[in-house]
A = this chain, B = another copy of it.
Amino acid sequence: MANPPTSPPRSKTVPKSLPATAWAVLGLLSFGRDLTGYDLKKWADASLRFFYWSPAISQIYGELRRLESIGYVESWAAPQDELRNKRLYRITPLGRDALTTWVRDSPVEPPVLKHGVALRIWLGHLADPAALREIVAAHREYAVEMLAAVSEARRTAATNPDWTYPEVVERWGERYWAAERDLADAMLRDLDELDLT
């Protein structure tokens, strides 16, 4: 952790509700590290994307500015070398309170699922069976890759006592992607059966 921050207290009014992305970014900071926007993006790629999604880097910078403007984070320039400038962000007590309230009280949006593979199989009357099977098979590979990646993430989380909840979620993620793989297999069997009859 770096030295005491010195960001100007430019308080705007807090908007009634922030998008989930803002809470996700704030959440990344709630594990207590001082991080740059760039760091945040890397971390989102390595963990968030398995069960939520990883915002574009430009959006992360935007969210950080918004969060600072309402006092949920503070930042300071950290001249690492002589010339280069990077900006470190830290969650404020106000931000931590707001995030805690959000976790506890905000209504949980139903999970968003947009499954391009299912959409294409749903239109199976427009393709030949072999092409459909190929789509599902490719998706199976994808699920296996995700499973491997989330397992890797879980191993990393297991090294740090602060990350017990991320680890629980990554365990969930492993099961999720394993299920996705099995679902692909089951659909392949269903497609085979269709062709036989």
Contacts and interface: CB of A to CB of B under 8 A. Distances in A.
Chain A contact residues: over half helix, strand or loop, or mixed?
helix
A124 B164 CA distance: 9
Contacts of A147: none
Contacts of A100: 126-127
A172 B183 CA distance: 7
B165 A110 contact: no
Contacts of A172: 118, 121, 183, 186-187, 190
Interface stretch (A6-14, A68-76, A173-181): A173-181
Nearest to A197: B164
Contacts of A20: 114, 116, 119
Contacts of A139: 108, 111
Contacts of A114: 20, 52-53, 109, 111-112
Nearest to A53: B114
A118 B53 contact: no
Interface string A159-197: 000101110110111011001101100110011001000
B52 A115 contact: yes
Interface of A: 20, 23-24, 27, 30-31, 47-48, 51-53, 96, 99-100, 103-104, 108-127, 131, 135, 138-139, 142, 162, 164-166, 168-169, 171-173, 175-176, 179-180, 182-183, 186-187, 190-191, 194
The 7 closest A-B pairs by CB, nearest first: A124-B165, A51-B118, A112-B114, A179-B179, A100-B126, A122-B169, A109-B116
